[in-house]
A = this chain, B = another copy of it.
Amino acid sequence: MGGKEDFQAGCMIDTHTHEGHDHVWADDLTRNQELVLGALAHATGPLSAYEILDRLRDDGLRAPLQVYRALDKLTERGLAHRLESLNAFVCCADADCHRTGGIGFAICESCGRVEEFAEPAIRQSLRRWSKASGFVPDRMTIELRGRCADCAGAAG
């Protein structure tokens, strides 16, 4: 009871919408962070660090590290998420993530789209297990691979 309530804090951002910028979720991002987040927001699916880099060459980015550093900060703050099974990144499902507490990702093998979901029951099951076992969780990864509704419907 005394401790952390949930596994993932994520997305605790005071979301400003700021005239004059393109993608602003938080107003204290550095230039590189904004560029990277913008690239993710623009994309229709997950991007690898190197894909992000390629898209930002024209904006002055030159080295992987610039991207990785930005991604570290963004994921720390829950503005972006890493998909472990893909070695790729998505931007957080905007306003929704901090309301629902993003928890898992459903990745379509067919169209590449990623859906973020939150089933509170899952979180509870995990909490129950961790209490029973004594394991103290810190972060978690839940990723489903399969076919999204559209693709499953369209092409078997």
Interface residues in chain A, defined as those with a beta carbon under 8 Å from any beta carbon in chain B: 7, 84-85, 104, 106, 108-109, 115, 117, 119, 121-122, 124-126, 128-130, 133-149, 152-153
Contact = CB atoms under 8 A, between A and B. Distances in A.
B119 A134 contact: no
Contact of A122 (B122, B141, B147, B152): B122
- Give how many copies assemble into the complex: 2
A151 to B, nearest CB: 8
A137 B84 contact: no
A125 to B, nearest CB: 4
Contact of A135 (B138, B139, B142, B148): B148
B140 A143 contact: yes
A119 B129 contact: yes
Nearest to A7: B144
Given A139-B145, A143-B141, A145-B140, A122 B133 contact: no
